[in-house]
Structure 1
Amino acid sequence: MFLRPLDPAADGAALHRIFGDPDCCLWLPEPATPDIETTVAKLKEWYAGFKDTSWVVCETPDGPALGVIAFYNTGRDADIWEAACMVTPAARGRNYAARGLYAAIRYLFENTTARRVFADIDPDNHASIRTFEKLGFTREGVLRGEWQTHIGIRDSVIFGLLRTDSLTDIANPPELITA
């Protein structure tokens, strides 16, 4: 398994298996995209400015994207980053999200001044909650009525990991390609 930098144009068709799937997008603010072109445009919009902290999960360095691991700096504080991950339905059950996040978090803490990584998760997104708990993130609280989404007003469960916390070791982390 590898993490390589996300290229919206090159990876858009493969990632449309996530972002074009209504079930995969259930917990996102917006519904699934209708076509590959819209997926590519959204990927360019979402990941603009985060090229060094956005990767795709793949089996080989040049293989198709099976998922996305990304960190977004919130702009509020240069040392606080939000983590996000999604894996295509066909690739689920192989621990790609946890393995990818593990490698990416280590990279972030080793190569930046980041002091905190957090995840903002819908309380009904049990798979995502399990992934972050598996990595050693602490459940910090619930923000009630936090998001207006395509399925209505939703709460957020916040999970956090500080640089000084213990990141739980994950077997077989991917090789992270940075260039």
Structure 2
Amino acid sequence: MFLRPLDPAADGAALHRIFGDPDCCTWLPDPAFADLDATIAKLREWTTGFEATSWVICETPDGPALGRIALYNVGRDEDVWEAACMVTPAARGRNYAARGLYAAIRYLFENTTARRVFADIDPDNHASIRTFEKLGFTREGVLRGEWQTHIGIRDSVIFGLLRTDSLTDIPNPPELITA
């Protein structure tokens, strides 16, 4: 397994399996993208903006994208980052999200001054909650009525991991390709 930098044009079709699927996008602020062009446009926006640290999960270095791992600084504090992940339905059940997040977060802590990584998760997104708990993130609280989404107003569960915490070791982490 590998993590390589996301290329919106090259990875767009594979990632549209996630971002074009209404079920996959249930917990996102916006609904699934209507077509491939919309997915590629959003991936371009994300990867040239605050999500410049966005990777795809793949079986081989040049293989198709099976998911996406993103770490991004939302600008409030240069040492506080948010983590996000999504995996295509066909690739679920192989621990790709936890393995990819593990490699990306280790890279972040080893190569930046980041002191904290957090995840903002819908309370009904049980798979995502399990993934972050598996990595050693601490449930810090609930923000009630935090998001206006395509499915209504939703709460957020906040999970956090400090540089000084123990990131739980995950077997078989991917090789991270940085360039």
- Give the TM interval when normalised to the shorter protein: over 0.9
1:7-22 correspondence runs (5 A): 7-22=7-22
CA RMSD of aligned residues (A): 0.8
Superposed displacement of residue 48, structure 1: 1.8
Residue of structure 2 in register with 1:154 after alignment: 154
Task: Provide the rounded CA distance (Å) in 2 between the counterparts of 1:46 and 1:22.
Answer: 20
1:142 equivalent in structure 2: 142
Distance 1:178 1:50, change over 3 A: farther
Kept in 1: contact 2:57–2:65 (CA 8 A): yes
The answer on 1:100 being equivalent to 2:100 is: yes
The whole-number CA distance in structure 1 between the counterparts of 2:166 and 2:72 is 21
* Paired AA for residue 166 in structure 1: S
The number of residue pairs the alignment matches comes to: 179
Within 5 Å, which residues of 2 pair with 1:98-177? 98-177=98-177
Report SS of the residue matched to 2:101: helix
For residue 173 of structure 1, give the secondary structure of its aligned residue in structure 2.
coil
Q: Is the 8 A contact 1:5 1:51 kept in 2?
A: no
User: Which residue identity does 2:92 align to in structure 1?
Assistant: R
- Matched to 1:58, the amino acid is C
Query: Matched residue of 1:107: which SS?
Result: helix
**Is 1:85 aligned with 2:85?**
yes
Percent of aligned positions that are identical: 89
TM-score normalised by L of structure 1: 0.98
Change (3 A) 1:167 1:48: same
Q: Give, in angstroms, the shift of residue 50 of structure 1.
A: 4.6
